[in-house]
Amino acid sequence: MHIKLGHMDIDNNNPYRLLCSDFAHKPPDMNTLSQILEASNFFRMSRYREYAVQVLEGLFPKAFRRLPEVSPHAARAVDLGRTFHIDTILPHAFYDLARIPPQAPEDITHDAEDNLVPKISIKDMQFLLHLQKRLSMAWDDIMAKTETKCNRVECSSTHRLPALLSIKQRYPLDPLLGINELLKIKLTMKGPAYCEVASNRVQADLKTLRTQIWCNIRKWIGVDV
């Protein structure tokens, strides 16, 4: 019995023998990853599962500091993560789905590789809507951190960050990238808008808040990884 995985065949008489080494130079696409995971379950081939998980974790990393462009495969990743119990990719995959600009529901499940990606479950759609609500509300916390009254006698000013509203408008459902953008303007924080003490405190508070948001995503989508 042979199972074809993209450019690769697996023989159940010799399941670890690869008939083509394309994956050494080009990672498998999402369809092939799905097939590898299915075959690894069927043949109980842990090394194939480990490889597929490694590729997926590269596409949807656990570290929030690595936030590339929104992946067009986020819905597929949610489906694979739930189906094959790969919880490590779910926070990033859900976050990508949440920050996609508004589209028709059928567009969210479109994938350039195979035209039709399995739609996420009704339960996961509820998690997604809840996540978007939480991410939108996170901007209230960001605003609270950046608008602060200095308690130093020599300052005693109420500090605000003028760029906050424009950044919020650019990233309404992407507070993590929004915080990253706010931290990039730390030099201007030390100008007329902020004294140095307030600037340092705000930057530290934003970094802490960024970590809290990322950790809370796991809870908001119903996983603990």
Do 175 and 200 sit in the same domain of this protein? yes
- Residue 159, domain member (yes or no): yes
Cα atoms found within 13 Å of the Cα of residue 25, Cβ hemisphere only: 4
pLDDT value of position 43: 80
Neighbours of 153 (CB within 10 A): 6
Do 171 and 199 sit in the same domain of this protein? yes
Do 97 and 39 sit in the same domain of this protein? yes
- Residue 48, domain member (yes or no): yes
- Spatial contact of 151 and 145, defined as CB atoms under 8 Å apart: no
Do 9 and 37 sit in the same domain of this protein? yes
> Which amino acid is residue 125, in one-letter code?
M
Distance, CA of 98 to CA of 135 (rounded, Å): 8
Do 152 and 63 sit in the same domain of this protein? no
Residue whose C-alpha is closest to residue 176's, from 77, 63, 56: 63
- Residue 96, domain member (yes or no): yes
pLDDT in tens, 28-39: 888 888 888 988
Do 83 and 170 sit in the same domain of this protein? no
Range of the domain at 13: 2-129
pLDDT value of position 176: 94
> Which amino acid is residue 111, in one-letter code?
D
- Residue 149, domain member (yes or no): yes
Do 62 and 152 sit in the same domain of this protein? no
Do 118 and 143 sit in the same domain of this protein? no
Distance, CA of 144 to CA of 205 (rounded, Å): 10
Do 70 and 94 sit in the same domain of this protein? yes
Contacts of 202 (CB under 8 A, 6+ apart): 145, 146, 148, 159, 161, 189, 194
pLDDT in tens, 180-211: 998 888 655 655 567 777 788 888 999 999 99
Q: Which of 112, 129, 146 delimits the end of a domain?
A: 129
Do 35 and 121 sit in the same domain of this protein? yes
pLDDT value of position 195: 74
Do 121 and 22 sit in the same domain of this protein? yes
Neighbours of 61 (CB within 10 A): 16
pLDDT value of position 108: 47
- Residue 7, domain member (yes or no): yes
Distance, CA of 78 to CA of 82 (rounded, Å): 6
> Which amino acid is residue 114, in one-letter code?
D
Q: What is the pTM of this model?
A: 0.79
Q: Which of 70, 99, 129 delimits the end of a domain?
A: 129
DSSP secondary structure, 4-24, as one string: EETTEEEETTBTT--S--GGG
Query: Backbone dihedral region of 87: left (phi > 0), alpha (psi from -120 to 50 degrees) or beta?
Result: alpha
- Residue 225, domain member (yes or no): no
- Residue 192, domain member (yes or no): yes
Q: Which of 129, 154, 177 delimits the end of a domain?
A: 129
Collapsing DSSP to helix, strand or coil, 116 comes out as: coil
- Residue 112, domain member (yes or no): yes
Residue whose C-alpha is closest to residue 76's, from 58, 48, 54, 96: 96
pLDDT value of position 190: 54
* Segments of the chain with pLDDT less than 50: 1-3, 6-7, 11-21, 104-117
Domain count, the chain: 2
pLDDT value of position 116: 40
Do 80 and 191 sit in the same domain of this protein? no
